Amino acid sequence: MMREDITVVIPSYNRPTALAVTLTGLCFQQYRDFAVVISDQSDLPVYRDASVQTAIRLLEKKGHAVQQLTNLPRRGLAQQRQFLLDTVDSPYCLYLDDDILLESFVLGNMLLAHQEEEIGFVGQAVIGLSYRDDRRPWEQAIELWHGRVEPEIVTPQHASWQRYSLHNAANILHVQEKLKLTPDTQKKYKIAWVGGCVLYDSEKLRETGGFEFWQEVPQEHAGEDVLAQLRVMKHYGGCGLIPSGAYHQEAPTTIVNRKFDIPKELAL
C-alpha cells in the first residue's frame, strides 16, 4: 500500500462540535491523497461524539485512513504536536487546529506551492468571518514574494515580526478581495508566522528539531508552533498563501495561560 502525500494532523481538546466541522471540511477537499491523524486530550473522549464519528466514517468512505489516538496525560501543546509528528511517514504534514473549516481548494493549493518552492512550510492564515465588516487598513500591509521564497530570520526583535498583524480578524479576506485573487491566481507572501493551518515538509520540520523542545518548557505555554516555524524558516524558508480558504470557527480558546511565550523564551 502506497503512503499518502499528506498526513493531516489534528490536536484536539474539549471541542467535539468544532472538530466535527473541521473533519467535514476535509471530506470535501479536491485534493484526495491524504490521511488524517487525530490526537485527543479531552476530558471526555471526543470520539464518543456522534457528529465526530459521522465525519470520520465519511472520510473513511472516501478512502482516507483516519487514526483516532489519545495522548494522555496532557503535557502541553508542544508535546502534543511532537506526538503527532512522530506518527507521520508522509512527505508533508498539515497541522490543522480542531476549529478550522477549510474550503475545498486548500490542500491542493498548499501542496502546489510546496512543489513550486521546495521550502519548509506554507500556511493559510485563518479568517474570522465575524470580523468581515471590521476593516483595518492599518493592519493590512502585505509583502508579496517576487521570485523564489528564500530563508529568513524573523525574531520578536525584528521589524518583520510586525507582519503578524496581517493575520488578525478578517484582514486576509479583505486583502484578497481587494487584490481580486482566486484559487487559480494564488500568491505567496512574507510572514512572521501562520497559525492554525500550516503544511510542512515533514523532513525539514524534523531536521530543525520539530517540537522536541517540549521538554524544555513548562506544561502551560504558548507559541510552540511559532518557534517551530521560525526555526524552519531560518533554514528552508516559509511563506503565507493568499487567497486563504481557512476559516476560524471562533470557539473559545483552550489556552488560558500564555505567560510563557516560547519564541520569546527560547533561542532561535
Any idea what the CATH number is for the domain that residue 154 is in? 3.90.550.10
| Out of 133-137, 190-194, 222-226, 232-236, least confident range | 222-226
Across residues 38-59, what is the average pLDDT?
A: 98
DSSP 144: B
Residue 123: give the domain boundaries: 6-265
Q: Is residue 254 part of a domain?
A: yes
State the cell numbers at 244. 486563504
Q: What is the pLDDT of residue 41?
A: 97
How many C-beta atoms lie closer than 10 Å to residue 30's C-beta? 12
- CA distance between the termini of the chain: 39
Residue 169 included in any domain = yes
Domain-located, residue 1: no
Is residue 135 domain-resident?
yes
Sheet containing 34-40, strands listed edge to edge, beginning at the edge strand earlier in sequence:
66-70, 34-40, 6-12, 92-96, 197-201, 121-123, 238-242, 187-189
Q: Whats the size of the chain, residue-wise?
A: 268
User: CA 87, CA 59: separation in Å to the nearest integer?
Assistant: 19
241 Cβ neighbours under 8 A, 6+ residues apart: 109, 110, 113, 122, 123, 124, 186, 187, 188, 189
Total domains in the fold of the chain: 1
Percent of the chain predicted with pLDDT > 90 = 87
In a domain, 127, yes or no: yes
> The pTM is what?
0.96
Region of residue 147 (left: phi > 0; alpha: psi -120 to 50; beta: else): left
In the predicted model, what is the mean pLDDT of the chain? 95
> Tell me: the pLDDT tens digits for 96-144?
999 999 999 999 999 999 999 999 999 999 999 999 999 999 999 999 9
- The C-alpha cell at 126 is 485563518
Indicate whether 187 belongs to any domain. Answer: yes
- 149 burial (CB, 10 Å; 0-12 / 13-18 / 19+) is buried
Report if residue 54 sits inside a domain.
yes
* 138 C-beta neighbours (distance < 10 Å), count: 8
| 47 vs 221: which has the higher pLDDT | 47
Residue 65 resides in a domain: yes
